[in-house]
Amino acid sequence: MSDYTVKIQPEKVEAINALKADFEGVDNFIFTDYRGLTVEQITELRSKLRETGASYKVVKNRFAKIALEELEKPEVGDMLVGPTAVVISGEEAGAAAKELFAFAKDAPVEIKGGIIGGDVFDNKEMEAYSKLPSKTELIAKLMGTMNAPVQNLVYILNAVPEKFVRTLKAYADSKED
């Protein structure tokens, strides 16, 4: 048996390392097929995603697969088939998913699926995820729910002295007559 070694060209190693740097420390990825998008549409999508704290990067499938494997991310299967671009989102992937699906209504971009928090989602699951309220909205709703009983208690506690003062005033007015 002969020794078989694979030599990877330095520029390919650099490209994989650049992808690893982009993917490192991130748990949220959305994979898309960008076929049919014009340069202007891709630029517009990148701009909209940047507002949500995400980035949009066209990737070479093999390099992306190697980078994800080396970073011990879940296997994405056939999401890395055909022309692929990746939405790389930080902590709040919901906003990026909403923006992407809203953009997909008017443009020929196909969402293949994604990785959210280490879990693999297919297209339909990603669409359902995009319809969920964001973390900030959920916290606001929770705070509103927690605040309502306190507001009611304050109202009731203020109403008792006010009613007592009105009663005393009415009594004083009746004694003056």
Where residue 12 falls among pLDDT bands split at 50, 70, 90?
confident
User: What does the alpha-carbon distance between residue 71 and residue 88 come to, in Å, rounded to a whole number?
Assistant: 14
Note the pLDDT of residue 158: 76
Residue 112 tokens read as 């293949």
**How far from 26 is each of 47, 79, 92, 123, 135, CA to CA, in Å?**
20, 18, 11, 20, 17
Residue 52, domain member (yes or no): yes
In this structure, are 42 and 93 located in the same domain? Answer: yes
In this structure, are 101 and 151 located in the same domain? Answer: no
In this structure, are 101 and 143 located in the same domain? Answer: no
In this structure, are 92 and 137 located in the same domain? Answer: no
Q: What is the pLDDT of residues 127-168, one digit of tens each?
A: 888 888 777 777 887 887 777 777 777 777 777 777 777 887
Note the pLDDT of residue 125: 85
pTM comes to 0.71
Residue 32 tokens read as 């898309």
Which domain does 144 fall in, by range? 133-177
User: What does the alpha-carbon distance between residue 82 and residue 49 come to, in Å, rounded to a whole number?
Assistant: 22
Note the pLDDT of residue 177: 65
Q: What is the pLDDT of residues 97-129, one digit of tens each?
A: 888 888 888 888 888 988 888 888 888 888 888
Residue type, 149: P
Where residue 31 falls among pLDDT bands split at 50, 70, 90?
very high
User: What does the alpha-carbon distance between residue 108 and residue 99 come to, in Å, rounded to a whole number?
Assistant: 14
